[in-house]
Amino acid sequence: MTVKVIDFGKDPGRVSHRRLADLPERVVEGDPHHESTLCFESPDGQMVAGTWTSTPGRWHAFTDRDEFCYILSGHVRLIDDDGGTRTFCSGDAFLIPDGFRGYWEVIETTTKHFVIRHQDTD
């Protein structure tokens, strides 16, 4: 089996669309729409990588994962449960560690590259 390097800009990936309002317990503000292109998934499904775009809105952050993000365009804010706020724009890179509790807020339509490592649920 040949292992190939994945070029996010050239390899097609698998595209999915989601209206976050379809998960009403998550949305806090707005009507964010997401488009994700999954470029990589490890054989065990524990790690995924790709590109994501979201329209503005605020929602409860997903948990039980580590996520590295690189913002290609746009403007987001992460707000922890204690009210601490971090703002990120084009060119910024950051890591959201497993255990983070709080909110994602997309201030202007944002596109990012991401790598997510899911935590075992065993």
pTM here is 0.91
Could you tell me the residue ranges of all domains in the chain? 14-118
Closest CA to 20 of 12, 10, 29: 29
pLDDT of amino acid 114: 97
Q: pLDDT 10s digit of each residue in the chain, 122 long?
A: 788 899 988 888 999 999 988 888 889 999 999 999 999 999 999 999 999 999 999 999 988 899 999 999 999 999 999 999 999 999 999 999 999 999 999 999 999 999 999 987 55
In CATH, the architecture of 14-118 is: Sandwich (2.60)
